[in-house]
Amino acid sequence: MIQRQVKAMIKLSKDSFETNLGVFVDKLFTHPEIKCIKIKELEICRDNKNDTIKSAVNKSYHDSYSDIDLCAVVELSAESKIMPDVYIKNIEHWGFPLEMILGVCFVPENQLCRFVCKNGMRYDLKFAFEFQDDAPAITLKPIRQQNSNSNWPIENIYQFWFVQIQALGKLYRNDFLISSHLANSNINETFVQQMVLRDLKYHTNHHRYGDKEELIYLKYTGQCPYQTENIVFNKIADKLYSAALAYDELVTFFYHDYEPRSEDFFAIWKSYEEHRNNCFIEEEKKLLISIIGTLEAIKEGGLSITEAEKLLFSPYMVRQLKKRKYNESLINLVEKGCELEDIASILPQRLIENIEELKQEAIEEIKMLFL
């Protein structure tokens, strides 16, 4: 049974995207056949790369789950014998040792390579080939041959882990349909692994009978450490978690020297969760600012208590905050806000004092969040 391990923390931020993209572009430009690199509508050349990379990241980065779409314009000699399909699959030629890659998906018909690195960076690298008479001849090193088991080709492994990250990104962007579809596909891959292993064991492939086999992924269900208030999110996360560990366990039957990749996957997952938590903290800050502003508006007569109840201080808002697991102290502040109408009716002379006390509590809370 595979034990979950987590590597050192990965930090995916706008700054890290800019740094990693800069390194990637530098590697690409070491090759004379690379004419330019296009990101969005921007064209990166050797003489403008530093300024343009920053602009490209500004257009590409939305959150930690973002990937970067690039198009490398490649000039090849008209007499070159290098086939585009071969060039596209030569990842190490672009400066990425295979040891750095977690997952890959090739789309030859679109001259596209989609890959995710073990540091969490995701690239969709498209190629546009131009054949010129005066283009310099280049030598392409042969693609490094990896040990591949015909019963479970090495390409399957790279494809699986690419899909895992793709599903994870969709999950954290709340696209539950696509995320669940991809997670189910990868769980199905573990079933196929088990069927192949059964065929190898019994020397059969007609699948006429089974033997109440254990479904390996079920050993790992219910263990995912990342849970939210959303039951659908939790179910999909559990699928991805169990698929990762089951796949790693089953691959070892095909590759005895296989190094588990789930720990790299979980390190990226942890960074996604960190980003989600940071976004949640920002939401709590915004709530506190709203509470302070609403209280001040009531105090100065710019907003009635009735209007404040429609906007913020209501039992409905309390229920929503509890459902989303907001900090208990913030929920208490909103509940106290719901009591302002009673205070105004029963002890009107205490209303301003209560508003000031509530406002001060909110200020102390926001100070804690900004520490």
Does residue 140 lie within any of the structural domains? no
Residues 121 and 188 grouped into a single domain: no
User: Exposure of 209 by Cβ count < 10 A (0-12 exposed, 13-18 middle, 19+ buried)?
Assistant: exposed
Q: What one-letter code names the amino acid at 32?
A: P
Strands of the 68-77 sheet, one edge to the other: 42-44, 34-39, 68-77, 122-132, 112-117, 101-107
Domain region containing 102: 14-132
Strand partners, 117: 101
Residue 29 has pLDDT above 90, yes or no: yes
Residue 3 has pLDDT above 70, yes or no: no
Residue 21 has pLDDT above 60, yes or no: yes
User: Exposure of 318 by Cβ count < 10 A (0-12 exposed, 13-18 middle, 19+ buried)?
Assistant: middle
Residue 142: CB atoms within 10 Å: 8
| Largest CA-CA distance found in the chain, in angstroms, rounded | 92
- Pairing outcome for strands 34-39 and 101-107: unpaired
Beta carbons of 255 and 146 less than 8 angstroms apart:
no
Residues 199 and 158 grouped into a single domain: yes
| Cα–Cα distances in angstroms (integers) from residue 294 to residues 239, 289, 309, 343, 362, in the given order | 43, 8, 10, 16, 11
Residues 113 and 37 grouped into a single domain: yes
Residue 8's pLDDT band, with cuts at 50, 70 and 90, is low
Tokens of 6: 């987590």
pLDDT in tens, 291-341: 999 999 999 999 999 999 999 999 999 998 887 778 888 899 999 999 999
The Cα 111–Cα 10 span in angstroms is: 30
pLDDT in tens, 46-76: 988 888 999 999 988 988 889 999 999 999 9
Q: Report residue 71: phi and psi, to 5°.
A: -130, 115
Estimate to the nearest angstrom the gap between the alpha carbon of 235 and the chain centroid.
17
Does residue 148 lie within any of the structural domains? no
Residues 283 and 336 grouped into a single domain: yes
For the chain, give the mean pLDDT.
Answer: 90
Give residue 7's pLDDT.
Answer: 60
Number of domains in the chain: 3
Does residue 9 lie within any of the structural domains? no
- H/E run at residue 37: strand 34-39
Residue 27's pLDDT band, with cuts at 50, 70 and 90, is very high
User: Exposure of 172 by Cβ count < 10 A (0-12 exposed, 13-18 middle, 19+ buried)?
Assistant: buried
Tokens of 348: 């009107």
Give residue 371's pLDDT.
Answer: 62
Residues 31 and 126 grouped into a single domain: yes
Any residues with CB less than 8 A from the CB of 173 and at least 6 apart, and which?
Answer: 63, 65
Q: What is the CATH number of the domain that holds 20?
A: 3.30.460
Q: Which of 228, 260, 292 is the last residue of a domain?
A: 260
Give residue 350's pLDDT.
Answer: 92
Residue 364: CB atoms within 10 Å: 11
pLDDT in tens, 149-177: 999 999 999 999 999 999 999 999 999 99
Give residue 190's pLDDT.
Answer: 98
| Cα–Cα distances in angstroms (integers) from residue 347 to residues 148, 210, 285, 335, 350, in the given order | 79, 76, 31, 18, 6
Supply the pTM of this predicted model.
0.81
The Cα 34–Cα 53 span in angstroms is: 16
Beta carbons of 138 and 164 less than 8 angstroms apart:
no
Best CA proximity match to 264, nearest among 99, 81, 87? 99
Does residue 141 lie within any of the structural domains? no
pLDDT in tens, 101-129: 999 999 989 999 999 999 999 999 999 99
User: Tokens 């609403």 map to which residue?
Assistant: 294
Any residues with CB less than 8 A from the CB of 218 and at least 6 apart, and which?
Answer: 242
Residue 24 has pLDDT above 70, yes or no: yes
Q: Which of 192, 226, 260 is the last residue of a domain?
A: 260
- H/E run at residue 117: strand 112-117
- With a pLDDT cut of 90, the percent of the chain lying above it is 64
Residues 159 and 256 grouped into a single domain: yes
Residues 120 and 160 grouped into a single domain: no
Tokens of 186: 């990868």
Does residue 356 lie within any of the structural domains? yes
User: Tokens 């993209």 map to which residue?
Assistant: 21
pLDDT in tens, 187-197: 999 999 999 99
Residues 90 and 168 grouped into a single domain: no
Residue 226 has pLDDT above 70, yes or no: yes
Helices 154-172 and 231-251 pack at an angle, to 10 degrees, of: 170
